[in-house]
């Protein structure tokens, strides 16, 4: 009996947020239909369309898997390039006062510009194509990772570096055993921020750039054809995938990495400082 109660409590903790969200969605659908007199997609209608799409229904000349695959490809390319550039910049600017003083204002300017504002720049540089979408994602990801990385590198206690040099450690050894563990809390925070920003701007860029496929393109095309149920189905896929990456990939990675380097307390301090 006690075992059953424990499992019932765990099941309720998992199900309660989903039940609340779906109930709120259903209530909004009923209210909009009653007040405005227009059909608003309900959770059940969207689930039915999602099921058909999962079975291979052709949607805007492609399957859902094609649209999803193209969006993931663009996101992976843009996020990977932005992450790599941000880490390289963090090492250069974090270790050199001169580089940081000259370049950081430009990075901060890029940081405050919304991702969608880069759309005309990307179109002028690359045209209406796959590359323009990737470029927008890079410009959105880079500053988040770069600024967090610089903060992390600068947070390294110089006494540890001097002690390592006195013990004969070279630059690579110092980076792997001192700089990287100390910078991890900031780097992981920048990684999560950059990943979320890249995912959001990807969908918006696909709506505007109009590359012919992808989840963002599917949503905006569904709007023009008044197929709002399919648009909601694509939104649901975006939400589920984004939540899955956050809860199943990034959060476990963050916990395991910080536990591996013994930086749990530092991570809590860094998160508190960022929240303040």
Residue 25: count of CB within 10 angstroms of its CB:
17
Predicted model pTM: 0.78
Across 54-87, b (16+ Cβ under 10 Å) vs e yields eeeeebbebbbebbbebbeebbebbbebbbebbb
Instruction: Provide the residue-wise pLDDT of the chain in tens; the chain has 276 residues.
Output: 666 676 767 777 778 888 898 899 899 989 988 888 888 899 999 999 999 988 888 888 888 899 999 999 999 999 999 999 998 898 888 878 888 899 999 999 998 888 888 888 888 888 878 888 999 999 999 999 999 888 888 877 777 777 777 777 766 777 767 777 777 777 887 888 888 888 888 888 888 876 778 888 888 888 888 888 999 999 999 888 888 877 777 777 767 766 765 655 444 444 444 444
């Amino acid at each position: 009996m006690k075992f059953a109660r424990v499992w019932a409590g765990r099941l309720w903790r998992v199900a309660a947020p989903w039940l609340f969200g779906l109930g709120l969605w259903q209530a909004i659908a009923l209210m909009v239909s009653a007040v405005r007199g227009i059909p608003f997609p309900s959770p059940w209608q969207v689930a039915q369309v999602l099921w058909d799409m999962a079975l291979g229904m052709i949607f805007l000349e492609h399957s859902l898997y094609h649209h999803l695959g193209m969006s993931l490809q663009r996101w992976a390319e843009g996020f990977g390039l932005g992450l790599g550039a941000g880490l390289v910049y963090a090492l250069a600017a974090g270790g050199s006062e001169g580089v940081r003083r000259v370049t950081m204002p430009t990075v901060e300017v890029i940081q405050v510009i919304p991702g969608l504002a880069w759309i005309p720049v990307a179109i002028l540089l690359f045209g209406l194509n796959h590359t323009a979408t990737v470029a927008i994602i890079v410009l959105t990801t880079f500053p988040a990772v770069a600024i967090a990385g610089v903060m992390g590198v600068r947070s390294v206690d110089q006494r540890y570096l001097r002690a390592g040099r006195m013990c004969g450690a070279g630059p690579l050894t110092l980076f792997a055993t001192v700089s990287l563990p100390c910078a991890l809390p900031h780097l992981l925070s920048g990684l999560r921020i950059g990943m979320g920003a890249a995912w959001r701007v990807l969908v918006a860029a696909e709506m505007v750039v109009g590359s012919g496929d992808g989840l963002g393109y599917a949503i905006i095309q569904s709007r023009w054809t008044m197929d709002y149920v399919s648009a909601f189905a694509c939104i649901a896929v975006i939400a589920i995938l984004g939540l899955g990456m956050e809860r199943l990939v990034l959060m476990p990675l963050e916990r395991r990495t910080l536990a591996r380097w013994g930086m749990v307390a530092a991570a809590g301090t860094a998160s508190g400082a960022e929240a303040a």
